[in-house]
Structure formats: C-alpha cells, structure tokens
Structure 1
Amino acid sequence: MKKKGFLIDMDGVVYKGNEPIPGAVAFINGLREKGFSFLFLTNNSQRTSRDVCYKLRKMGFHVNDEDIFTCAMATARYLASRKEQGTAYVIGEGGLLTELHNIGYSIVDDHPDYVIIGEGRTIMLESVDKAINMIMGGAKLIATNLDPNCPVGNGKYRAGCGAFVAMLEFATGKQAFSVGKPSPVMMRMARKILGLSTAETIMIGDTMGTDILGAGSMGFTTVLTLSGVTKEEDLDHYGYTPDFIIPSVKSLLDEALFTKVLSKQHEQFSYDGHTMVVH
C-alpha cells in the first residue's frame, strides 16, 4: 500500500471548545506513533500556529507547530506568490498579521495593494468604511475564508469572516478572492506540505461545505465526522457525498475501519443512497 497522509480539521473533529472529543487524542497520537504524516487545517485566522499548537498540547495531543496550517498562513503564502513585499490593510487579528509580517508585507492605512479580511471579535464600522474606500480605489479584496459564522460554544455563534466579506462585496461591487477551505489554493498547499499525491491524501472534517467540498473537489479521500457541524439529517441537502461517514474519529481506532479508509474500500451500508461506514 502506498503511503497515506491526513489533513484534519480541528473544531468539531478533535475538540469542542477546550475539551478533546473522546478518542481524538488516542487517534492523533496513534498516527504519530505509526509514522503517518498529518496536518491540521483551520479556517480560523485569529491565532498563530504556535498558539493553536499550545492549545492542542494542553489537551494531550502530541503535536508541533509544523503540524498546523491556518488559512492565515495559506493567505500569506498566496500573496507572497502574487506580489513580493506588498502592502495590505487588514481587518483581522494577530494570527493574520503575524503571517503577513513573516512574508515581508507592510500593514498600511492608505493605498494598500490588498484589503485582507480575517476573523475579528472587535471589527469596527470605521474599519469597514476605510476598506470600502480602498477597494473602490483599486485595492484587491482578499478573504482568509468565507465561513458565514463561527461557533463559540454552548450552541451560540458569532459572525464569521464571510459575513463581513459579503458586506464589502455588496458595498463595492467587487468580488473577493478566498484562500481558505474549500479553496483549492489551501488544499493544494496542504497536500504539498506533506509531500503527498492526490491519491495519498485523506481529509477528515465535520463540515460538508468546506472540508468535504474542498477535499472532494481535489480528488482526496474524504471522511465526514458527525461530531461537529454536519448532522445525518443534513446530508440530503448536498449534491455530493463523502467517501466515508463516521460518528467521530474514535471510530478510526478500529483497525478494520482504518484499513478500509486507507485503501478506500467501503463497507456498504444503505442510507438514502449514501455510502456509509459506521462503527
């Protein structure tokens, strides 16, 4: 069997809030012990990879900074490939600002090359107005992701990056370019970081519209966990299906199922036309 590697979403897949999902620590640490490569992918641009790694390590995951790939990192890499030493006006927080500084970008308050929108808990209308005028003046609009909302625990949500991007698009008549999941930009970067081919890449995620759509469009093997955003009753709303559907990553501790995922062999289980694997 060829080598395989994993791209893994975090919130709703390996933890909820500040608590690991049952079985997640054993699964991730088992991947490390068995020598499988993996990379955590997140559409949250607020925190740096070091911050995210610290949170995971506190929960017991054996991970390093290099195991984290955020949409802020993907956005910075994309911009560096388009224009070196560029300038940006940023609506976002530390994780995004850090990555832009790391690629040599300057953060400015007038005439930027790009207006970049990421997550933010204290976005002010004044900043939005400035961004509108910059975009109308020729700055290109870049979004770290287009998630309309973000879970904050206890069944509550806050406005996501996509909500603010939609407002800017409507106000300016300009369309944003998004780098985060499900964009093939982030998916392709992540695969290349692990040095995998398309056939060797497995995506584990809890969200049909980002994790599964993005990875499926790239031809990766897709595993949907029902421990996060997407529920069984939601599946009929989509015109595409994952390769595997499991209750949580704890299911992958079963060696037989894990082997089926590695070899993309489905155990047939009828569910309204969907191929499901549930243990």
Structure 2
Amino acid sequence: MKKKGFLIDMDGVIYKGSEPIPGAVEFINGLREKGLPFLFLTNNSQRTSRDVCYKLNKMGFKVNDTDIFTCAMATARYLASKKENGTAYVICEGGLLTELYNAGYSIVDDQPDYVIIGEGRTIMLESVDKALNMVMKGAKLIATNLDPNCPMGDGKYRAGCGALVAMLECASGIKAFSVGKPSPVMMRMARKALQLTTDETVMIGDTMGTDILGAGSMGFTTVLTLSGVTHESDLAHFGYSPDFIIKSVKDLLNEDLFVKVIGETALAEAHY
C-alpha cells in the first residue's frame, strides 16, 4: 500500500491569530475523513499539546492532542534519549516544563546537566545571567528553536527564542544545540510518529528557513503556502525551493492539485 501523510505547520498555515485561514478547516477535516495521517508541527514551546488542541477545536478543527507535536515535546524526548533522569535549568513557560517533567527530568537552580531556552514573555535578565554562568561552568546549552521572532498578529512581532539564545551564545562563546524546526531531530521524530517513510511524507509550511529547509533536507515533499511569513518575492533569496507553491491550503481543496501532491495511488488507497 502506498501511503502519504502530512506534517503541517500551524500559525500562518491553518490560522492567523485566533482565526482559521479560509479553507483550512475543510482541508484538515477532509484529511481526517480520507484517512490520511497528519501531524501539526510547531516551534512554539509555550503551550502543551492539550492547550493547542483546545484552541484548534474552538476554531472547528476536528483534531486530538495526539495530532500535535511541539518543539517542547521534541526537546524533552531528545534529551531523555541522551541522558535519563537528567536535570535542567529552564527559561520558558509551561509547555516545555510539562514535557520535561513527563520525560523524567528535574528542574533545578544549581549545577544542571542542561540549560534549556524556550519561548517566554516574562523573561528576567537575572535568569539570563544565571543561565550564562551555568553554561560557562559546563552545562550544555539547548534551544527549543532558533526562530528570531514570533508573529503576534496585526503585523506585530515579539522577540523569539532564537534572539535570547543568540545573546547567551554571544556572551558565552558557546553555540546552542537546537531541536526544533529545521533540525532533523524534530523532523525525524515527527515522521516516525506517523509511521511514514521519507517518500511518504509531505510538509506544508509558510516559512522557507524552517519548514521548507528542514523538510527538504530530509527528502520530504515540500509545499510552501504564501499565507504566512514567506512571500513569493522572497524566494529569489534562497538557494533551494519548495516542490509546490500555493496561495493557501484552500488551494489543496482542488482535487487535481491535491493528487499532484500526494499521487493518485495514495488517494485511491485512502479510507473514506
């Protein structure tokens, strides 16, 4: 059986702010009806998968907690695979803390194995200084992602995890290891979660430097939607390109285009 499944970014792809992008609800719910597997990937470590699921359900998406994979989940699972029952000093919000606890990690204020930086809106410089000194004494510096900024809607942005990590890298002279998109760590985990092979995996995203770069490097089929961060005029600045470019996921409601993306065999094998 020739399967196909989707890894799908969220902000800018299926919603903006608190509103779904036109056609997104129909597209996602249609994947479920067709029996085509999908997993949402987000570089936002603030919320748990349950929090994200609640937001999507309110918008009309028929999804479950298990349909969401965050960079916080990827980070916690990666670190647990490297060091069981480790310790971490963490600058972040609830989503990452929850995942680290679930992975058997203890959150400490002294001599941690890892200093982990995630998303946060109330970060104190005192915490940053503390993290710096821990890194200088040997704690490994980990970033949930390296996004320099995060869109807040209405054309506004806030500094992202990558901006804070860059400050610590500059101060310490030590480079952080990032687990979130475009890292192959998160991409591989997500593919395996759907039990897909490389050629069975399709990534839909709005950001060339994370979604498309990460998925393309893994050999996945890539679909860039212009409904979010990346504009068509930006494409000339990149040395790589997506396999497909669409205005929004609403375009994928067109069966001819959808078949081009997943192939006739995969559509025929889908369970309605």
TM-score bracket for the superposition, by shorter chain length: over 0.9
Is 1:184–2:184 an aligned residue pair?
Answer: yes
TM-score normalised according to structure 1 size? 0.94
In the other structure, the counterpart of 1:77 is 77
In the other structure, the counterpart of 1:193 is 193
Mapping 1:57-72, distance limit 5 Å: 57-72=57-72
Report which structure shows greater RCO (CA 8 Å, sep ≥6).
2
In the other structure, the counterpart of 1:276 is none
The structural deviation recorded for 1:2 is 1.1
Structure 1 moving runs of 4+ over 6 Å: none
The structural deviation recorded for 1:263 is 2.5
Distance 1:40 1:103 in 2: 21
Distance 1:153 1:226 in 2: 16
Mapping 1:115-264, distance limit 5 Å: 115-263=115-263
Unaligned runs of 5+ in 2: 265-272
Which amino acid counterpart does residue 14 of structure 2 have in structure 1?
V
Give the total of aligned pairs.
264
Which amino acid counterpart does residue 48 of structure 2 have in structure 1?
T
Distance 1:153 1:248 in 2: 17
Distance 1:243 1:2 in 2: 19
Distance 2:82 2:171 in 1: 25
| RMSD after superposition | 0.8
Distance 2:229 2:46 in 1: 20
Distance 1:228 1:88 in 2: 34
TM-score normalised according to structure 2 size? 0.96
Which amino acid counterpart does residue 50 of structure 1 have in structure 2?
R
Identity of aligned residues (%): 84
Is 1:25–2:53 an aligned residue pair?
Answer: no
Distance 2:249 2:153 in 1: 20
Unaligned runs of 5+ in 1: 265-279
